[in-house]
Chains A and B, each alone.
Chain A
Amino acid sequence: MTDERLLEQAASGDETAFAVIYERHRGLVFRFAYRLSQSREMAEEITHDCFLSLIKEPQRFKTQEQRASLRTYLCAAARNLAFKRLRRAGSETAIDDFSEQLATAESQEPLRLLLDAEISEAVRKAIGELPPLQREALILFEYEELSLAEIAEVSGADVGTVKSRLHRARQRLRILLAPYFKEGVGINVERCRL
């Protein structure tokens, strides 16, 4: 059964239909929210609010039905909720902090990089240091494997802008995670610091 039909039934009180929709998309919404916010509590709140708002106002999805799938619609809803919370918390990364943070990343001990947990933590930190819009593009592309067009729909930007954000996010990650790559990084670090 399609997402649209299930949503219709769920919106009229069919709990089973809601459970199916939730089961299908909860992973995506939670992962995306978690990677954006880097907080389990916030990700749970976002996931909760995201699905509840979908049920409260299904017509908002229906108006976009022609151009968006439920997957991208949920991602967009999660993104908006995450950014709202991040803005409220004031935890978004400012561009001015970048050089300092980059220096910290470069000074990490190479021996600790061998530990998987440490690598995971380093990646988490590096992604967390990306500006929110770059972070969003990177997460949706690298983790959730959305197409550029889908990411553009989610973020409300055009494909060119998404490409640009993704490119810059990759470049920055390359710098931040440079000690973790096996071979030398073919990126001009000085250029990226500008």
Chain B
Amino acid sequence: MNYLEENSPDRNPKPADEVVEDRELKNLVGEWSPPAITSSLDQRILTSYRRQFLHRPAWLRWLTGSISLPAPVAAAAALLLCATSYLAARKATSYSLEPAPAPPTVKFVEVPFPVVQQKIVTRVVYKQIGTPKAKEGPAPSSLPPRIDLADFRPVSEIKIIVSHGGNDEK
């Protein structure tokens, strides 16, 4: 049982008695007056207040200070924070699935490179100047040989073959 509650059998008072002012009782209880508040109490409370707020170091005030935000602003800020955190977490996960790129290695490969060398070709061109004279030495070997028709016999039948475009046609 709660020590503050009284275990009285009269739990349900008469409705008419509850809010009706009991003038006689009121006058009687009014005879008891509390003492006046002393100035020392006022001073003590004000001193405690000053100690609490005015002499508190700035860093402590900053740490324990509070700001009041309108509820919609606070809700919007919380939503934004959640969304940003979610996106950041998702991005980090997708990155972690891909293999990390290998660090670039420097490899020296010797590639044969064709070097264009300058080649000097010397050509001797013989040019015939004027008509050669008979008495001027022997004829050049490039002249066609002479044809001898002594053994020539004509054919009895002539067959004419017309050749056109490389294909044989009769």
Asked if B19 is at the interface (CB within 8 A of a chain A CB), the reply is yes
Closest residue of chain B to A128 (Cβ to Cβ) is B32
Does B29 lie within 8 Å of A48, measured CB to CB? no
Asked if A72 is at the interface (CB within 8 A of a chain B CB), the reply is no
Closest residue of chain B to A174 (Cβ to Cβ) is B25
Contact digits for A148-186, partner B, Cβ 8 Å, 1 yes 0 no: 100000000000000110111011011001001110000
Q: Which of B46-54, B90-98, B141-149 faces chain A?
A: B46-54
- When A19-B46, A52-B49, A164-B11 are in contact, do A142 and B25 touch as well, CB less than 8 Å? yes
Asked if B156 is at the interface (CB within 8 A of a chain A CB), the reply is no
Does B54 lie within 8 Å of A13, measured CB to CB? yes
Assembly CA distance A32 to B72 (angstroms)? 40
User: In chain A between 102 and 131, which residues have their CB closer than 8 angstroms to a CB of chain B?
Assistant: 116, 119-121, 123-124, 127, 131
User: In chain A between 1 and 47, which residues have their CB closer than 8 angstroms to a CB of chain B?
Assistant: 10, 13, 15, 18-19, 22, 26-27, 30-31, 34-35, 40, 43-44, 47
Q: Which of B3, B17, B44 has the most CB of A within 10 A?
A: B3
Does B10 lie within 8 Å of A192, measured CB to CB? yes
Does A133 lie within 8 Å of B6, measured CB to CB? yes
Assembly CA distance A143 to B30 (angstroms)? 7
Does B49 lie within 8 Å of A15, measured CB to CB? yes
- When A27-B37, A59-B66, A95-B6 are in contact, do A47 and B31 touch as well, CB less than 8 Å? no
Does A143 lie within 8 Å of B29, measured CB to CB? yes
User: In chain A between 81 and 103, which residues have their CB closer than 8 angstroms to a CB of chain B?
Assistant: 83, 87, 92, 94-95
Closest residue of chain A to B48 (Cβ to Cβ) is A52
Asked if B7 is at the interface (CB within 8 A of a chain A CB), the reply is yes
Asked if A77 is at the interface (CB within 8 A of a chain B CB), the reply is no
Closest residue of chain A to B7 (Cβ to Cβ) is A95
Asked if B9 is at the interface (CB within 8 A of a chain A CB), the reply is yes
Interface set of B (CB-CB < 8 Å, partner A): 3-15, 17-19, 22, 24-26, 28-35, 37-38, 41-42, 44-46, 48-50, 52-54, 66, 68
Not counting A44-B41, A164-B13, A181-B24, a sample of 9 additional A-B residue pairs whose C-beta atoms are within 8 angstroms of each other reads A15-B49, A51-B45, A94-B3, A116-B31, A119-B31, A131-B4, A143-B29, A148-B18, A191-B10
